[in-house]
Structure 1
Amino acid sequence: MTTAQPAPAPLTRPELVCPAGTPAALKSAIDAGADCVYIGFRDETNARNFPGLNFSRREMAEGIDYAHGRGAKVLVAVNTFPRAGRPEVWHQAVADCDSLKADGVILADIGLIDHAARHHPNLRLHLSVQAAASNPDAIRFYVERYGIKRVVLPRVLTVQEIAEVNSRIAPIETEVFVFGGLCVMAEGRCALSSYATGQSPNINGACSPACDVRYTETSEGITSELGGFTINKFAHTEPAGYPTLCKGRFIANDKASYLFEEPTSLNTLAILPDLIRAGVTAFKIEGRQRGRAYVSAVVQAFRDGVDAVMAGKSLPDIDLDRITEGGKQTTGAYEKAWR
């Protein structure tokens, strides 16, 4: 006589958290099927502080109304680190998130988290990936001390490690990146860009700011520079990528290569079932600096992917090569194929 095996636990549908760098992108993300969008104010309080991006207070209020009217949520990234002795701009950003009825605020700085927990007790707090909390002890510290409801996990864990973390911190929510740009630094804590441009991504909110970017065309091709440093040289037949130091091509041992990281995009469509079974609460798409076409295409692809998994169907065949960085894709640390 055989013993009946217990039925597998039902899968929980993950929330699809999508980027919106502009009001138009917010509408595109929601219309394409986003459960939630994350946005930032038009100042240094968020880590995508680029000209032409982000929201005024009026635009944010309108965006929140648009999202709520369609059953979607809005999270606000206040994920840079306040200047020492000058936290007022960051404090005001958190207060405005509360008064504008945002569904949550994404914070990285422990002092700002403490301020938010004490002064805005009804505001839902999420821990930014830039806090780099990747183990149960670190996560429980933020939860028990400050009431954090969700942690965005750093992109250094395998799927198995994520499942183990979730089993030890439940019912705390976890959010993981599923598509977009990668950073070779400790989740955006970039010293290279600061060295080259004098602007800190973690305080000023802009990695490789456009004002420091130069392209020079020569008879041999195009040279890209950042802060006066040559980052790459492209032949006329090559697409010239954006000059970030970590994805620059340099000469070492008489060979030109990408020393830190090749231009490539994270894409986890193929392993969505594994991430869902690992107990992840939310899937996050990177790209607040990208346009509406990118947002619509990626959100629709992952909406279709999640819906297929939850319906017990095969994953759809979706090609996102045209919008990936360098035309290349990787599952990154989730599978750690290099080990």
Structure 2
Amino acid sequence: MQRKVPQLVCPAGSLPALKAAVDHGADAVYLGYRNDTNARNFAGLNFDEKAMREGIRYAQSRRRGVLMAINTFAQPGRFADWQRAVDGAAELGVDAVILADIGLLAYARQRHPELRLHLSVQGSATSYEAVNFVQREFGVQRAVLPRVLTLAQVETVIRNTSVEIEVFAFGSLCVMNEGRCWLSSYATGESPNTVGACSPAKYVQWERSPGQMATRLNGILIDRFGNDEAAGYPTLCKGRFEVGGEVYYALEEPTSLNVLEILPAIADIGVAAIKVEGRQRSPIYVAQVTRTLRAALDELARDRQHFSVKPAWQSELAKLSEGHQVTLGAYNRPWR
């Protein structure tokens, strides 16, 4: 049976990014509050209530979905802050909320039974048993799978659940448990799931000296860049370290997930939506990635049997990839 193509879900870290995603073909956007209920709580990004209302109106008036990410874990003594975020999302009329915290899922189901619930990738559901549990207990209608499963494993989940499945299609990879970053916590005492940002800006230091730029996180040297190199944002997982007398990317080399070449397989196994990572990125990035993936999905819908990846699509996405490198990530494990 030929299946529909997946929805395209794109990041909106700001109002201009939201409009860029909508204008260039996203089926839905995901966004968050300007506080630590949001796992991408970077300084200068995200939405206050006024911008949130304008963004929701802009997207929904064009028949695009708006998904609210309240995807950090509630902190001790502050559960009411996360409850207010869910209440606010319901009042604003978003199309779904993306949650990871089990207590918050229970609250949303009880307090707002009409609100559509999605399980965040932060929930780390890697099996259909986990997906079916959150459906049974909390009425979750979609789950975002972690970027650690092969395509065959994704298919196994889909075959054994009625919950819609969303997978990542483009953007940064995470060597941690999808945002539960022990490295950031070790270095700074804070992590994406406590303050909503990987390598919080207040701990970042840039040190220029003759011929080079050094980057540090809370005093820890992450990397040194020559004058001819672009200096990346200092995250421990993508730093270059001396190991056994060699300096290299010891944990993870900067690279981006790119599923263009396996889009037909993703559609064939019944994936409901593909997601672009990058709420911390610019509106130009969002526009270019959205436009490219929209073109690919439309081509797939028109002629699935003869679908092929256009060199222009790969060229466009390669410009936006970390380290100008792309990978299929865990979807393809040739060593198995």
TM-score normalised by the chain length of structure 1: 0.95
Deviation, 1:158, is 1.0
- Find the counterpart in structure 1 of residue 263 from structure 2: 272
Deviation, 1:61, is 1.3
SS of the aligned residue for 1:323 comes to coil
Residue deviations 1:97-143 (CA, integer Å, cap 9, x gap) = 10100000000111111111111101000000011001011111100
- Find the counterpart in structure 2 of residue 315 from structure 1: 309
| From 151, 171, 176, the counterpart of 1:185 | 176
| Equivalent AA in structure 2 for residue 321 of structure 1 | A
Contact (CA 8 Å) 1:308, 1:316: kept in 2 or not?
A: no
Partners of 1:108 and 1:12 in 2: how far apart? 28
Deviation, 1:248, is 0.7
Contact (CA 8 Å) 1:30, 1:36: kept in 2 or not?
A: yes
Partners of 1:91 and 1:272 in 2: how far apart? 37
Residue deviations 1:273-296 (CA, integer Å, cap 9, x gap) = 111111100000000000111000
Contact (CA 8 Å) 1:216, 1:222: kept in 2 or not?
A: yes
Deviation, 1:219, is 2.3
| Equivalent AA in structure 1 for residue 163 of structure 2 | I
| Equivalent AA in structure 2 for residue 316 of structure 1 | K
Deviation, 1:16, is 0.4
Aligned length: 330
Partners of 1:37 and 1:324 in 2: how far apart? 20
| Equivalent AA in structure 2 for residue 83 of structure 1 | Q
Partners of 1:266 and 1:167 in 2: how far apart? 24
Equivalent residues in 2 for 1:270-309 (5 A)? 270-309=261-300
Contact (CA 8 Å) 2:261, 2:308: kept in 1 or not?
A: no
Partners of 1:201 and 1:35 in 2: how far apart? 26
| Equivalent AA in structure 2 for residue 73 of structure 1 | G
Partners of 1:55 and 1:235 in 2: how far apart? 36
SS of the aligned residue for 1:176 comes to strand
- Find the counterpart in structure 1 of residue 213 from structure 2: 222
SS of the aligned residue for 2:294 comes to helix
Deviation, 1:234, is 1.4
Residue deviations 1:184-229 (CA, integer Å, cap 9, x gap) = 0011100111121222210211110122111112224111111110
Contact (CA 8 Å) 2:96, 2:118: kept in 1 or not?
A: yes
| Equivalent AA in structure 2 for residue 47 of structure 1 | A
Contact (CA 8 Å) 2:128, 2:156: kept in 1 or not?
A: no
Contact (CA 8 Å) 2:5, 2:300: kept in 1 or not?
A: no
Partners of 1:209 and 1:83 in 2: how far apart? 17
- Find the counterpart in structure 1 of residue 235 from structure 2: 244
| From 51, 63, 79, the counterpart of 2:43 | 51
Partners of 1:157 and 1:196 in 2: how far apart? 28
1:98 paired with 2:98, answer: no
| Equivalent AA in structure 1 for residue 186 of structure 2 | Y
Equivalent residues in 2 for 1:1-339 (5 A)? 9-169=1-161, 171-312=162-303, 313-317=307-311, 318=313, 319=315, 320-339=317-336
Deviation, 1:51, is 1.1
Deviation, 1:338, is 4.4
SS of the aligned residue for 2:170 comes to strand
Contact (CA 8 Å) 2:125, 2:145: kept in 1 or not?
A: yes
Contact (CA 8 Å) 1:158, 1:335: kept in 2 or not?
A: yes
Partners of 2:334 and 2:48 in 1: how far apart? 43
Contact (CA 8 Å) 1:304, 1:316: kept in 2 or not?
A: no
Q: Which aligned runs of 4 or more in structure 1 are off by greater than 2 angstroms?
A: 313-317
Partners of 1:161 and 1:83 in 2: how far apart? 33
Contact (CA 8 Å) 1:11, 1:310: kept in 2 or not?
A: no
Identity %: 50
Partners of 1:86 and 1:238 in 2: how far apart? 43
Deviation, 1:257, is 1.2
TM-score normalised by the chain length of structure 2: 0.96
SS of the aligned residue for 1:193 comes to helix
| Equivalent AA in structure 2 for residue 204 of structure 1 | V
| Equivalent AA in structure 2 for residue 324 of structure 1 | S
